[in-house]
């Protein structure tokens, strides 16, 4: 009896020692950093800024692997099914983690099948209008919309897009009637907004900022909970008269579920360090991505909060995927 007990005890200690040793030896081969979007965009730039810093600190090459398609779902699914040994990480996006799970049956669960590592960046969705619209503030826009119900339209990059959700959230909280005009991507509808065929939209800051600076669009507010460091003079939608409003694009780094906790801790430490490098921060800010950082627990809480928020908007607005 005693011999059996001691044998089990030594076996458990031995397994624990092996796990600890494995974490200390990590990584033992190159890491694959899946980016679920095509090369050249903001997400790709983010990953390619982090990769060389992680290569230096981890002592193994970190290779960016672009796997675009289905709003980030294809790349996320590949990561969810990868070995949980810390040698595959993925850039998480709203489409893959918090929006599409509320609209479609996906081959993975955003909370069950991933281990959050760190929230990397946040970018506000901003309320912009065509300059011909006779409003200079959110309150004036709401007053106009209430005076002429159903007469103002807003463009989006498609049913179920962040732009669509952002506007539906605004409609509900501001109690206004606006007409949705869906397009196939922001590149398709922004020209119509600039041309005056659309009157307003909520769109990611990097997309509209050049047009705001050139005077082709007027920015009324940002959707983040606090003012953006990129346009500090612009109020939040919340402070401008719509309490509780929040809309932003968050990108983070995740690993497959069951990746050992010690490895997640190491990756969190190194990605946080990589994000703080001054030239990387400046490059991200230049393309409209504000560096965040933080703990795995904070990123997990953010994903949970966003999932619940989009679920409420889907139910209230009856949104269906294209």
| pLDDT tens per residue across span 136-165 | 999 999 999 999 999 999 999 899 989 999
Which of 10-24, 39-53, 60-74, 253-267 is predicted least confidently?
Answer: 10-24
233 part of a folded domain: no
Q: What is the CATH number of the domain that holds 130?
A: 3.40.190.10
Do 108 and 184 have their domain in common?
Answer: no
**pLDDT for residue 7:** 52
The domain tally of the chain equals 2
Domain that residue 288 falls in: 29-123+249-317
How large a percentage of the chain has pLDDT more than 90?
A: 83
Tokens of 313: 């908007």
Do 272 and 297 have their domain in common?
Answer: yes
Say which residue the tokens 């008269």 belong to: 241
Contact of 205 with 217, CB cutoff 8 Å: no
Asked if residue 19 has pLDDT above 60, the reply is no
pLDDT grade for 71, boundaries at 50, 70 and 90: confident
22 part of a folded domain: no
Do 280 and 270 have their domain in common?
Answer: yes
218 part of a folded domain: yes
What are the residues whose beta carbons fall under 8 Å from the beta carbon of 9, sequence distance 6 or more?
Answer: none
| pLDDT tens per residue across span 188-221 | 999 999 999 999 999 999 889 999 999 999 999 9
Contact of 91 with 34, CB cutoff 8 Å: yes
240 part of a folded domain: no
24 part of a folded domain: no
236 part of a folded domain: no
pTM: 0.86
Average pLDDT for residues 7-29, to the nearest whole number? 61
Do 118 and 255 have their domain in common?
Answer: yes
286 part of a folded domain: yes
**pLDDT for residue 287:** 86
> Of 204, 222, 240, which residue is a domain's last?
222
Q: Residue 138's closest CA among 223, 226, 227?
A: 223
Mean confidence (pLDDT) of the chain:
92
Q: What is the CATH number of the domain that holds 113?
A: 3.40.190.150
Do 203 and 119 have their domain in common?
Answer: no
Average pLDDT for residues 80-85, to the nearest whole number? 98
Do 119 and 253 have their domain in common?
Answer: yes
**pLDDT for residue 5:** 45
Burial of 52 from C-beta contacts in 10 A (0-12 / 13-18 / 19+): middle
Do 101 and 150 have their domain in common?
Answer: no
Do 215 and 204 have their domain in common?
Answer: yes
Do 63 and 144 have their domain in common?
Answer: no
Do 312 and 266 have their domain in common?
Answer: yes
Supply angle C-alpha 100, 103, 109, rounded to 5: 55
What are the residues whose beta carbons fall under 8 Å from the beta carbon of 115, sequence distance 6 or more?
Answer: 84, 254, 255, 256, 257, 258, 259, 264, 296
Contact of 146 with 307, CB cutoff 8 Å: no
Asked if residue 125 has pLDDT above 60, the reply is yes
Asked if residue 42 has pLDDT above 90, the reply is no
Do 292 and 312 have their domain in common?
Answer: yes
275 or 2, higher pLDDT = 275
Q: How far apart are CA 163 and CA 191, in angstroms?
A: 15
244 part of a folded domain: no
Average pLDDT for residues 2-15, to the nearest whole number? 50
């Amino acid at each position: 009896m005693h011999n059996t007990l001691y044998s089990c005890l030594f076996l458990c200690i031995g397994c624990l020692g092996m796990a600890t040793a494995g974490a200390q030896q990590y990584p033992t081969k190159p890491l694959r950093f899946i980016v679920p979007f095509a090369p050249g965009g903001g997400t790709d730039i983010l990953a390619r800024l982090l990769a060389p810093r992680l290569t230096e600190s981890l002592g193994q090459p970190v290779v960016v692997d672009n796997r675009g398609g289905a709003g980030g779902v294809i790349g996320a699914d590949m990561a969810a099914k990868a070995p949980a040994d810390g040698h595959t990480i993925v850039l998480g996006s709203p489409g893959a983690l918090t929006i599409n799970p509320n609209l479609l049956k996906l081959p993975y669960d955003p909370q069950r099948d991933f281990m959050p590592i760190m929230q990397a960046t946040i970018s506000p969705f901003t309320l912009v209008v065509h300059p011909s619209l006779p409003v200079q503030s959110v309150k004036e826009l709401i007053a106009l919309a209430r005076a002429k119900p159903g007469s103002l339209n807003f463009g989006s990059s498609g049913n179920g897009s962040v732009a669509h959700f952002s506007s539906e959230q605004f409609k509900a909280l501001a109690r206004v009637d606006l007409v949705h005009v869906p397009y196939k991507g922001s590149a398709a509808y922004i020209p119509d907004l600039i041309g005056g065929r659309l009157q307003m939209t909520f769109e990611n800051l990097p997309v509209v900022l050049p047009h705001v600076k050139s005077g082709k669009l007027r920015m009324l507010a940002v959707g983040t909970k606090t003012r953006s460091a990129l346009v500090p003079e612009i109020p939040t939608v919340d402070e401008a008269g719509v309490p509780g409003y929040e809309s932003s694009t968050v990108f983070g780094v995740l690993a497959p579920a069951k990746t050992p906790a010690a490895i997640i801790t190491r990756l969190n430490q190194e990605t946080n360090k990589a994000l703080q490098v001054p030239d990387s921060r400046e490059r991200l800010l230049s393309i409209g991505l504000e560096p965040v950082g933080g703990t795995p627990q904070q990123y997990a809480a953010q994903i949970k909060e966003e999932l619940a928020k989009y679920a409420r908007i889907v139910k209230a607005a009856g949104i269906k995927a294209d």
